[in-house]
Structure 1
Amino acid sequence: MNTDQTPFSRDEENNNVWLSKENAQTITLTDHGITPTVLASEAEVGQAMLNELYATAEAKEGDINIALLGGRGAQELHRLLGKLAESGEKDELLARLNVFTQDALAPMGMANGFSFVRDFERILGEAFFNKIKSFTPMQTDTEDLESALVAYLNKLESLGGLDIFFIGHGPEENQASHLAYIKPFSGAKPQHVAGLIPISSSILEHHISKFKAGGSVVSEDDEKECRSAEYILTLGPAAIMQAKKVVQSVVDADSAPAKVNTYAKVLNTSISADPAEALQQLNANPGLWIRLNANTKSFVLPNLGV
């Protein structure tokens, strides 16, 4: 385990703040493409995601570091993990897990019902959190969000980085998309490990309606605090490209039909071999970052039309 504290440098573009390791090596942009696996149901997608965790556990000794996906994409996986925790069937595996969140609204109290942490607790269940080795959310209740994010990144770095980055696909305007919450034209570059992104009213409305529809227990005070959030904390391109495995799931094209076109654009757009042009493509459509990890699995439903 690396116990050194990694120094981070700071880049700012249009009020987007990005953090990168000061000693970061130059990252080569190689387009590996993406080959979706079409499965019949959300249950099958959840099982496929769990199978990827099992495969990593078999291939690696010791701790397993994962970033959880919020929203619909991984809820079936979370239900399966919760059942395993209650049954005791996979306690040895759960005890190896260092679990991280990949994005968060801030500033916001950690106990707020609109926090992804609360949603994870609701679906994964108490037994899961009691049995895993560690759980590290992004801290959202501090006046110094940037320093808290650096502390989060240092813990992730000290544990050896992500073994699995569970990730989704978010639609944006002009058939663009976001990954984690790397937004179009936010200035994200290959060396950026994480960032603080100014939040928009449309994102807040989407987030609030999604949580209410999903059955989260929320109060008027929770909603008021959530609506006052100013930033999204997010892992960045470097975290995606350097993860040992990326496991994507896209299951909600029926309720988010824009994903049909935005996923197709990621699927069918080749990233330029010219570095400057490639960076322009990635800035305009951050969903493309997933094509730059050589070990990516993308599990989707037939309603995505691929």
Structure 2
Amino acid sequence: MKVDNSQFTRFEDNNNVWLSKKSDQEFSFTDYGVTPTVLDSEAEVGKAMLNELYSTAASKEGDINIALLGGRGAQELHRLLGELAKTGEQDKLLARLNVFTQDALAPMGMDNGFSFVRDFERILGDDFFKKIKSFTPMRTDTKDLESALIGYLNKLEGLGGLDIFFIGHGPEENQASHLAYIKPFSGAQPHHVAGLIPISSSILEHHISKFKAGGSVVNESDEKECRSAEYILTLGPAAILQAKKVVQSVVDADSAPAKIQTYANVLNTSLSSNKEEAIEQLNANPGLWIRLNPNTKSFVLPNLNL
């Protein structure tokens, strides 16, 4: 299928490629801060995330568009959704879901065990994918990654954008952090809806170790292909800012203790009222983008030592 790229502008900054819609309007900065909700267990975080989905379902009619969070952050939510799919208890809700992934390593075969898609399938289960309205991953098995990403973005926009952006918090060097995979000093701007980020060996090591620890079924050839990935595909700041609700979960500070300080920095760093200075802050620490969505929930565990 031929993809119409004409509605997007392309911006490159130090090999980071960002896509934005030509019709995007100027963004007005308002720092809403972050108010974390500390829960007792990962299971409680999963229930809180599910309740946010129920709340959205009750407040609107028709389709519900969500971006799934990979890694540890949402595994309890995914287990709960998988259990519900087996019972039929929430079939009407599941039938309303248009599900999107938010980032991916590329190029890589879609069947690779280190793909987020395979991990979602493992935890959510076959019944979930049979019952939802649609599932749209970022394509990682094509030579033209940009066009494939634009096709993904066109579908998301055509459905009305994200009702819920389930998002995590990733630690970076110098006590910074990333959201989705918006990396520090990657040049992301508020109008950038998605990007292709050059990958580093440290990211690959973290990704591989995380998947192995999480129980993913992988093999030697999968790992070899994963290690040859060159890019991270990621939703950008515009997707976070335009989402009707952002639901963050941070549950793995025990195994990733750097998150204690990097989350605290997001919590305690106010954005400058000067737009240019704020852009510099966000570029140095993209975890701060979450402070700019007025409808954000942040569910965390006591191990963040707040």
TM normalised by structure 2 equals 0.98
The percent identity for this pair of structures is 83
Code of the residue aligned with 2:12 in structure 1: it is E
Cα pair 1:5 1:154 within 8 Å, conserved: no
Question: In structure 2, what is the equivalent of residue 44 of structure 1?
Answer: 44
Question: In structure 2, what is the equivalent of residue 88 of structure 1?
Answer: 88
Alignment of 1:287-302 (within 5 A): 287-302=287-302
CA distance in 1, matches of 2:209, 2:105: 15
Cα pair 1:6 1:154 within 8 Å, conserved: no
Cα pair 2:176 2:265 within 8 Å, conserved: yes
Cα pair 2:180 2:235 within 8 Å, conserved: yes
CA distance in 1, matches of 2:52, 2:93: 13
Question: In structure 2, what is the equivalent of residue 134 of structure 1?
Answer: 134
Change (3 A) 1:86 1:191: same
Alignment of 1:1-306 (within 5 A): 7-306=7-306
Code of the residue aligned with 2:110 in structure 1: it is M
Q: Tell me the secondary structure at the aligned position of residue 233 of structure 1.
A: strand
Change (3 A) 1:68 1:6: farther
CA distance in 2, matches of 1:5, 1:161: 18
Displacement after TM superposition at 1:6 (Å): 7.1
Cα pair 1:42 1:251 within 8 Å, conserved: yes
CA distance in 2, matches of 1:50, 1:122: 19
Cα pair 2:193 2:236 within 8 Å, conserved: yes
Q: Tell me the secondary structure at the aligned position of residue 193 of structure 2.
A: strand
Provide Cα deviations, 1:207-231, integer angstroms capped at 9, x if missing partner. 0011111111111110000000000
Q: Tell me the secondary structure at the aligned position of residue 225 of structure 1.
A: helix
Q: Tell me the secondary structure at the aligned position of residue 192 of structure 1.
A: coil
TM normalised by structure 1 equals 0.98
CA distance in 2, matches of 1:189, 1:234: 13
Q: Tell me the secondary structure at the aligned position of residue 20 of structure 1.
A: strand
Displacement after TM superposition at 1:9 (Å): 0.3
Cα pair 2:30 2:292 within 8 Å, conserved: yes
Cα pair 2:5 2:150 within 8 Å, conserved: no
Provide Cα deviations, 1:58-101, integer angstroms capped at 9, x if missing partner. 00000000000000000000000000000000000000000000
Code of the residue aligned with 2:250 in structure 1: it is V
Cα pair 2:248 2:299 within 8 Å, conserved: yes
Displacement after TM superposition at 1:29 (Å): 1.3
Provide Cα deviations, 1:16-57, integer angstroms capped at 9, x if missing partner. 000000111001111000000000000000000000000000
Show structure 2 runs of 5+ residues with no match: none
Cα pair 1:112 1:118 within 8 Å, conserved: yes
Code of the residue aligned with 1:155 in structure 2: it is K
Q: CA RMSD in A?
A: 0.9
Large movers: runs of 4+ above 2 Å: none
